[in-house]
Structure 1
Amino acid sequence: MNNYTDISHWRQESIKHVSTNHYNLNTLHDEVIRKTVEVAMKKVQREWGSSPAPFAFFLMGSAGRFEQSVWSDQDHGIIFDGNADCEEYFLKLGSEIAVALEMVGYETCEGKVMASNPLWCQSIADWKQQISDWLEEASWTSLRHFSTFIDSRVLVGDNNFINEIKKLAFTIINNEPRLYLRLVENVDFIKKGVGVLGQLLPESSGEQSGKIQLKQTTFFPYVNSLRLLALKESVTDSSTIARFNKIKEKYPSIYSFEKYFIQLLQFRLNFQQDVRSYQQVHLIPLDKLTKQNKKELKLLMKKGYDLFSDTKKIIENECSAWL
């Protein structure tokens, strides 16, 4: 496969065979994206010459966490080990990758979290400065950017580039424990999925009317909790499951929630078989849920809320001892 059209056809043909298995599905996504990036690299190399410096192409968001569903948008960046003169080349590469991935079947990110954006395509030195600036500013937006970056993993290139920057972030936060509390505040709002009478709460207006927003009501509490604890324990892994395993000895009570997150991943896939666009991938029509489905979803929501509450208490208690 040496062109984007062939890769797109391969993706479409292959994905239906792995759409019910979380690990196999995400392994396929990695293979498709990696092949697309390799073709983009060859195209840019023909037009602009060889790469002027070593670099790493990395994924963020659900791709960075190895948690993509059948459909996914783009969240990616580039780190290069060179000076400012290299930036033009890597922005060109980032733009080609963004166009290529859209052709293959991954929608562009509405928030421009892509290697075509100078904010997400920088040298190692500039990335370190940006991470420091984000944490020093500690605004809602800067911490949102920071949290997005922390869910990163390298797909093509040197993994040490990412880890070097993450370790700098760990050092900064450990020296400023108040930042843990700010990071908790940044994700403290959880969209309610269950009403006071125990009923599921679907969207009430627009095209999403009558559908449950699974990402905001159910996934976020798990993902945000384990990101917070990964930061506190200096865990470089980006996937939620890997983070569960890295903190299980210190926080066995938190680890007990892992089985519910795995159950949630499968629950989502069970309702994705007929989805035909990224816009629908996080929505589940309430009228498609059986009584048992509703019971299961309520349990997964409740466990997510409990997990976030427990995580928040851990961070507040331990940080109060440091301040």
Structure 2
Amino acid sequence: MDDPVQVQLLKQIGEADHVEGLRSLRDQAHEHMEALLPDRPVEQFNEQLNEVHDALIRRSIHLAEAEMARMGKGSPPVPYAYLLFGSGGRKEQTLSSDQDSGIVYEDPASDSPEVQQYFMELCELVVSNLQKTGYPLCEGNVLSSNPEWCLSLSAWSGKLEHWFNEPAWESVRYLLIVADARCVYGDEALLAELKDSYFTDMLETPVILKRMLENTMRHKVLLGFFGQLLKEQYGEDTGSLDIKYGAYIPMVNAIRLLSIQVGIRETATLDRIKRLEEASRLTAQEARSYEQAFRLFLRLRLMTTEQYSDGLYANNGKLSSRKLTREMTDELKSSLRLGKKLQRAVFKQTMGRLT
């Protein structure tokens, strides 16, 4: 059943003609979604929330295109796709998420520098619009306004080939980031072509799997040897649980690596689990168990500490253990045990392919 407030907000976002209006609508949407969180089923809430984020991002891009035209820069010279990475790419953004973005555009027939310059200026405006709307910059500078992430299709193909052939830690991290790429605006066929290059290179350089595995196993679940929850020991978050890096990210990473090996192009973790089951990489029982655990991680991540500074929404991924009932604590421990089991299975399967 449609939420009438959501429907109205999406309509107003789609009609906003300046960033200040967009910011006001973002604040209204944030307040509305925050009120729904305690009672709304997590998948429904997640879908509704990410629909709002997508609408805000699309309108920010549209306003940037309009500003480029007003400045005498014209319309986009070639088709392009605006890409989201990270939680945006996976459709798993929280109430407060930062910007992780890039652009792939069609190879121009001529005037390549001018085309590149157009998209760099466009992306500067998009990133600025999103900042004004409350989205912080990516700390790792994975942004469409960074020339390293704003490239033609052929340049992207060359960069992917370089990353696959030079499996340094940063290259592998970037390859895993690209696996989560989703087109939020523009020509989706360009992303499909980019993913064609990605999976072709993947098949031709199996050694990259070992490096991806090392990256994937880097974050451990927050469950101790004796089954106790591992809480933060220092600082202002002492006693809290790092839900983002101790529960959510380990499962995201494990499912993503299994999916890459099968050539699955879906980016949302729950969609990937379904596809892994269809590909017989997970049994039906495993798939249902992992889905249930991941839904809990999504729910708890949405409950983590919200921060607001300098006009930007942020989230540190930490959850006060006091917010957990005994029932939720027991469910979290059970889900974390499943997370450990999944990590062991991924390690075993991946190493099996390397021997």
- TM-score band, normalised by shorter chain: over 0.9
Structure 2 CA distance, aligned partners of 1:52 and 1:237? 29
1:155-194 equivalences in 2 (<5 Å): 155-194=184-223
Contact 1:138 1:179 in 2 (8 A): yes
Per-residue CA distance 1:163-195 (angstroms, 9 max, x = gap): 211121211221222222221112222234122
Q: In the TM superposition, what whole-angstrom CA distance separates every residue of 1:89-137 from its partner, at most 9, and x where no partner exists?
A: 1111111111110110111111111100011100101000001101110
* Deviation larger for 102-111 or 163-172: 163-172
Match of 1:284 in 2: 319
Instruction: Establish whether residue 264 from structure 1 lines up as the match of residue 297 from structure 2.
Output: yes
C-alpha contact (below 8 Å) 1:69/1:281 kept by paired residues? no
Q: Kindly indicate whether the alpha-carbon contact (under 8 Å) linking 1:163 and 1:236 is maintained by their aligned counterparts in 2.
A: no
1:208 equivalenced with 2:225 (yes/no): no
SS of the residue aligned with 1:248? helix
Equivalent residues of 1:275, 1:281 under 8 A apart: yes
Q: Which residue of 2 aligns with 1:64?
A: 89
- 1:1-323 equivalences in 2 (<5 Å): 1-19=16-34, 20=37, 21-47=45-71, 48-83=73-108, 84-85=112-113, 86-249=115-278, 250-253=280-283, 254-256=286-288, 257-269=290-302, 271-272=303-304, 275-277=306-308, 278-320=313-355
2:87 alignment partner, SS class: helix
- C-alpha distance in 2 between matches for 1:4 and 1:298: 43
Q: Distance in 2 between matches of 1:260 and 1:199?
A: 17
Contact 1:193 1:202 in 2 (8 A): yes
Take 1:119 and 1:126, find their aligned partners in 2: how far apart are those partners? 10
Write the distance in 1 (CA, Å) between the matches of 2:248 and 2:176: 15
Q: Could you tell me how far 1:287 is from its partner in structure 2?
A: 2.8
Deviation for aligned residue 1:280:
3.4
| Contact 2:105–2:152 (CA under 8 A) maintained in structure 1 | yes
Report the Cα offset of residue 252 of structure 1: 2.9
Taking a change above 3 Å as real, the CA distance of residues 69 and 121 of structure 1, as seen in their structure-2 partners, is same
2-structure distance, mates of 1:312, 1:168: 26
Please, what TM-score do these two structures have when normalized by structure 2? 0.85
For 2:103, the aligned partner's letter is: I
2:7 maps to what in 1?
none
Cα deviation, 1:49-76, whole Å, max 9, x if unaligned, reads 2211111101000000000011100000
Identity of counterpart residues, as a percentage?
Answer: 31
Contact 2:296 2:332 in 1 (8 A): no
When the two structures are aligned, how many residues end up with a matched partner? 318
Q: Please tell me the root mean square deviation across aligned C-alpha atoms, in Å.
A: 1.7
Change (3 A) 1:300 1:45: farther
The 2-side partners of 1:310 and 1:139 are apart by 25
* Offset at residue 227 of structure 1 (A): 1.3
Runs of 5+ unmatched residues, structure 2: 1-15, 38-44
**Post-superposition, which runs of at least 4 consecutive aligned residues in structure 1 deviate over 4 A?**
none
- 2:236 counterpart SS class: helix
Check the 8 A contact 1:70/1:281 in 2, yes or no: no
